[in-house]
Amino acid sequence: MKQEQPRNSDLPTTEHGPAPFLVAAILGAALWLGTARLTGRHEAWDAGAYWAFAYPAAIVGAALLGYFYPERPWRWPAVLFATQFLAMCVQSGELGGLWPLGIVMFAVLAIPAVIAARLAARFARRSAQGDT
């Protein structure tokens, strides 16, 4: 039976510490804020660059996190897209009246990333089994 180690912070952790959560959060915020800033749009998803570059990069990022941290891989896209929602709120300076729709939209956008992360995690586990 695995003993639980004492936690030094309130950050969510894995056996690798909080690193994958932080990577997912930083990636999500950077993609949202960077796209909005580079395109001059108030909301990143109003720019074609979000759909052409940032959204695919988010899916690839989620898949890479799923591969390197395959335990419960759905967490990485959940954190990544939740952080995009938070970045949108911080950038606008308000939650706004349409925030429930925003949450639903980000949840729908996360579905392909969840699938990619799960597939990558499955591939990582099979690769690890083949190495032993």
Q: How far apart are CA 4 and CA 14, in angstroms?
A: 11
| The dihedral formed by the CA atoms of 52, 45, 54 and 73, expressed in degrees to the nearest 10 | -120
User: Could you tell me if residue 47 is inside a domain?
Assistant: yes
Categorize the per-residue pLDDT at 10 as very low, low, confident or very high, splitting at 50, 70 and 90. Answer: low
Categorize the per-residue pLDDT at 40 as very low, low, confident or very high, splitting at 50, 70 and 90. Answer: very high
Q: Which residues contact 69 (CB under 8 A, 6 or more apart)?
A: 14, 16, 20, 76, 121
What does 8-49 look like in DSSP terms, one character per residue? SSSS--BTTBTHHHHHHHHHHHHHHHHHHHHHT-SSGGGSHH
CB atoms < 10 A from the CB of 14, how many?
13
Categorize the per-residue pLDDT at 24 as very low, low, confident or very high, splitting at 50, 70 and 90. Answer: very high
User: Could you tell me if residue 87 is inside a domain?
Assistant: yes
User: Could you tell me if residue 2 is inside a domain?
Assistant: no
Note the pLDDT of residue 1.
47
Q: How many domains does the chain divide into? A: 1
User: Could you tell me if residue 31 is inside a domain?
Assistant: yes
User: Could you tell me if residue 9 is inside a domain?
Assistant: no
User: Could you tell me if residue 12 is inside a domain?
Assistant: no
Global confidence as pTM: 0.84
Note the pLDDT of residue 95.
82
Look up the domain containing 90 and give its range: 19-131
Q: What is the mean pLDDT of residues 44-70?
A: 97
pLDDT of 110 strictly over 70: yes
Categorize the per-residue pLDDT at 16 as very low, low, confident or very high, splitting at 50, 70 and 90. Answer: low
Share of the chain above pLDDT 70, in %: 86
User: Could you tell me if residue 13 is inside a domain?
Assistant: no
